[in-house]
Amino acid sequence: MNDGLDLRHDVLDAQLVDRHRENIGRCDTVMLELRDGRPPRVAAILIGGAVRDERIGRWMQALRRLVHRGEARSDGVSRIPFAAVQSIGDTIQVDVLRDELPSENVERWLAERVVCHIPGAQRKQEKQKR
Amino acid sequence: MSREVPLHHLLGRTVRDPHGRTVGRVEELRAAIELHDRGNDYVVTEFHVGSFGAIESVAGPYFARQLLHRLGRFAPYSSHRIPWDRLDLTDPRNPRSLDTVEELTAKQRARDQQ
C-alpha cells in the first residue's frame, strides 16, 4: 500500500475483489469517521443496496422502495472495514469472502432463478464448483 | 464523540470561508497512514478544493488540473489544499474553511513557488 491515497481517485468506484480474487462489486462509498480534535478516519467501504441507489438518484431510490414495498428484508449493503483492505492497485483486494456479503444477495438470486435456466449455464456453474 | 459521514456526501460540497465567501467545491480527499498502538488506520490529511469541481470530477483530477492550470490565464481557476484541522465539518453538508480565501490563496502561491 502507498503512503498517500486519493480517496475519490483511488478508492471510490474502484473494482473490489475478495481474498480469492473474485469480483465483489465496486466501491459505492467510503465511510469517514469524524472525530473531535483528530483527523477523519477512513472507517469502511460500502457496496450495493441503498448506498448505490442514493448515488444513482432519487428515481432509483423510489424504484427500490416500490419493489421492496411491505417487505422487511435487509438493505443489501455490505460494510467492509477499511482495515480489511489488503492491496490497492487496479483493483482493491479485501480480506472477505464473496459469499458472506449481503450485497451478493441479488447476484445469488439471479444465478439461482434466472441464469441457471439459460442453456449452457448449468455446465458453467458445475465448472466453477470444480 | 464521533459520527460517520459517507464520502459522496462531502464531494462536490461548496466550501465557504469565515466571511461566507465561496472557496470552491470539495474535489478530493487525501488520506495517509496513521500509526498507533493497536495497528494503523488511514486518516484524511487534507481536502482539495477547486473552483471547477464538476469539470475536474468528469475529466479526471490530473488531466483536468493540468488543463485548467494552463487555462488559468484566461479563466479564473483556483484550487486550494485545506489541511484537515482547517476545515470545519460540524455540518458536513456545509463545510467551512477556518482560513479566508486570501489566506488560502497566499498559502497556495507559496506552495507553487517551492
Q: Do B85 and A34 touch (CB under 8 A)?
A: no
Q: Which residues contact A64 (CB under 8 A, 6 or more apart)?
A: A50, A53
Nearest Cβ partner of A8 from B2, B28, B45? B28
Residue A72 has what pLDDT?
58
CA distance A9 to A26: 13
Please determine, for residue A24, whether its predicted confidence score (pLDDT) is greater than 80.
Answer: yes
More confident residue, A104 or A20: A20
pLDDT band at B15 (very low <50, low <70, confident <90, very high): very high
Phi (first) and psi of residue B58, to 5 degrees: -80, -45
In this prediction, residues B33-46 reach a mean pLDDT of 89
Q: Look-up: residue for cell 473474485?
A: A22
pTM: 0.79
Residues 6-35 of B with CB under 8 A from A: 6-8, 10-11, 27-34
Under a CB-based contact definition with an 8 Å cutoff, are residues B95 and B10 in contact? Answer: yes
In this prediction, residues B12-36 reach a mean pLDDT of 92
Under a CB-based contact definition with an 8 Å cutoff, are residues A18 and A92 in contact? Answer: no
pLDDT band at B18 (very low <50, low <70, confident <90, very high): very high
CA distance A112 to A106: 10
pLDDT band at B50 (very low <50, low <70, confident <90, very high): confident
Q: Do B28 and A46 touch (CB under 8 A)?
A: no
Q: Which of B58, B111, B59 lies closest to B83 in space, CA to CA?
A: B111
pLDDT tens digits for A59-117? 877 877 777 776 655 677 889 999 999 999 899 999 999 888 888 777 777 778 888 88
pLDDT band at B10 (very low <50, low <70, confident <90, very high): very high
In Å, how far is B84's CA from the nearest CA of chain A? 6
pLDDT tens digits for B69-108? 676 666 666 788 999 999 999 999 999 999 999 999 898 8
**DSSP secondary structure code for residue B73 in this structure:** T
Chain A residue with minimum CA distance to B8: A29
Q: Which residues contact A25 (CB under 8 A, 6 or more apart)?
A: A16, A47, A48, A78, A103
Q: Which of A111, A74, A78 lies closest to A94 in space, CA to CA?
A: A78
Q: Do B32 and A51 touch (CB under 8 A)?
A: no
In this prediction, residues A4-31 reach a mean pLDDT of 92
Q: Which of B91, B80, B82 lies closest to B5 in space, CA to CA?
A: B91
In Å, how far is A33's CA from the nearest CA of chain B? 4
